Amino acid sequence: MLELIHFNILSVLLFSVGLYGVLARKSAILIIMAIELMLNAVNINFIAAAAFKHGGGLFTNFDGHILTIFIITIAAAEVGLALALILRIFRNKSTVNVDQFDMMKL
Protein backbone atom coordinates (compact mmCIF):
# COMPACT_ATOMS: atom_id res chain seq x y z
CA MET A 1 0.00 0.00 0.00
CA LEU A 2 1.00 3.59 -0.38
CA GLU A 3 2.09 5.18 2.91
CA LEU A 4 2.81 8.75 3.79
CA ILE A 5 6.52 8.01 3.85
CA HIS A 6 6.54 7.32 0.10
CA PHE A 7 5.14 10.75 -0.63
CA ASN A 8 7.65 12.26 1.75
CA ILE A 9 10.48 10.55 -0.09
CA LEU A 10 9.15 11.78 -3.42
CA SER A 11 8.97 15.30 -2.03
CA VAL A 12 12.50 15.14 -0.68
CA LEU A 13 13.85 13.85 -3.98
CA LEU A 14 12.16 16.57 -5.97
CA PHE A 15 13.39 19.15 -3.45
CA SER A 16 16.99 18.01 -3.77
CA VAL A 17 16.77 18.10 -7.54
CA GLY A 18 15.52 21.65 -7.24
CA LEU A 19 18.30 22.47 -4.77
CA TYR A 20 20.90 21.08 -7.12
CA GLY A 21 19.43 23.19 -9.87
CA VAL A 22 19.66 26.36 -7.76
CA LEU A 23 23.25 25.76 -6.80
CA ALA A 24 24.63 24.45 -10.04
CA ARG A 25 23.02 26.39 -12.86
CA LYS A 26 24.59 29.36 -14.52
CA SER A 27 21.53 30.93 -16.10
CA ALA A 28 19.34 33.01 -13.84
CA ILE A 29 16.15 31.81 -15.49
CA LEU A 30 17.04 28.21 -14.83
CA ILE A 31 17.68 29.10 -11.20
CA ILE A 32 14.19 30.56 -11.00
CA MET A 33 12.76 27.40 -12.56
CA ALA A 34 14.58 25.30 -9.98
CA ILE A 35 13.17 27.44 -7.18
CA GLU A 36 9.71 26.70 -8.61
CA LEU A 37 10.53 23.04 -8.52
CA MET A 38 11.45 23.28 -4.83
CA LEU A 39 8.22 25.05 -4.03
CA ASN A 40 6.15 22.43 -5.84
CA ALA A 41 7.95 19.62 -4.07
CA VAL A 42 6.87 21.18 -0.81
CA ASN A 43 3.30 21.38 -2.18
CA ILE A 44 3.27 17.63 -2.79
CA ASN A 45 4.40 17.07 0.76
CA PHE A 46 1.59 19.17 2.19
CA ILE A 47 -1.13 17.52 0.05
CA ALA A 48 0.11 14.07 1.03
CA ALA A 49 0.13 15.01 4.70
CA ALA A 50 -3.42 16.28 4.36
CA ALA A 51 -4.55 13.17 2.55
CA PHE A 52 -3.21 10.78 5.12
CA LYS A 53 -4.64 12.49 8.15
CA HIS A 54 -8.35 12.22 8.84
CA GLY A 55 -10.28 15.26 9.95
CA GLY A 56 -13.04 15.21 12.56
CA GLY A 57 -15.25 12.18 11.87
CA LEU A 58 -15.16 11.14 8.22
CA PHE A 59 -14.30 14.55 6.81
CA THR A 60 -11.08 15.00 4.92
CA ASN A 61 -8.47 17.33 6.34
CA PHE A 62 -8.19 20.40 4.18
CA ASP A 63 -5.19 22.07 5.84
CA GLY A 64 -2.65 20.93 3.29
CA HIS A 65 -4.77 22.06 0.35
CA ILE A 66 -5.16 25.53 1.77
CA LEU A 67 -1.45 25.86 2.36
CA THR A 68 -0.77 24.71 -1.19
CA ILE A 69 -3.01 27.41 -2.60
CA PHE A 70 -1.08 29.95 -0.57
CA ILE A 71 2.24 28.67 -1.82
CA ILE A 72 1.19 28.67 -5.47
CA THR A 73 0.02 32.25 -5.16
CA ILE A 74 3.17 33.38 -3.53
CA ALA A 75 5.30 31.50 -6.06
CA ALA A 76 3.54 33.22 -8.90
CA ALA A 77 4.07 36.66 -7.44
CA GLU A 78 7.64 35.95 -6.63
CA VAL A 79 8.46 34.67 -10.11
CA GLY A 80 6.96 37.79 -11.58
CA LEU A 81 9.19 39.89 -9.39
CA ALA A 82 12.25 37.75 -10.10
CA LEU A 83 11.77 37.93 -13.86
CA ALA A 84 11.43 41.70 -13.64
CA LEU A 85 14.76 41.84 -11.79
CA ILE A 86 16.40 39.55 -14.36
CA LEU A 87 15.16 41.74 -17.18
CA ARG A 88 16.62 44.81 -15.43
CA ILE A 89 20.00 43.23 -14.97
CA PHE A 90 19.96 41.90 -18.55
CA ARG A 91 19.54 45.44 -19.80
CA ASN A 92 22.75 46.43 -17.96
CA LYS A 93 24.94 43.42 -18.36
CA SER A 94 23.43 41.81 -21.55
CA THR A 95 23.81 38.42 -19.99
CA VAL A 96 21.93 36.24 -17.51
CA ASN A 97 25.02 34.37 -16.37
CA VAL A 98 25.04 34.65 -12.58
CA ASP A 99 28.81 34.24 -12.50
CA GLN A 100 29.07 37.75 -13.84
CA PHE A 101 26.80 39.37 -11.28
CA ASP A 102 29.58 40.34 -8.74
CA MET A 103 28.97 44.07 -8.49
CA MET A 104 28.21 43.74 -4.77
CA LYS A 105 31.59 42.39 -3.75
CA LEU A 106 33.65 44.25 -1.18
Concatenating the DSSP letter of every residue in 7-67 gives HHHHHHHHHHHHHHHHHH--BHHHHHHHHHHHHHHHHHHHHHHHHTSB-STTPBP-HHHHH
Say whether residue 84 binds other proteins (CB under 8 A). Answer: no
Contact characters 36-65, other proteins, x per CB under 8 A: ------------------------------
Nearest Cα to 21, choosing from 8, 10, 32, 9?
32
- Closer Cβ to other proteins, 2 or 23, answer by number: 23
Task: Using CB under 8 A, pick the residue from 1, 2, 58, 104 that binds other proteins.
Answer: 104
Say whether residue 22 binds other proteins (CB under 8 A). Answer: yes
Site residues (CB under 8 A) for other proteins? 19, 22-23, 98-99, 101-106
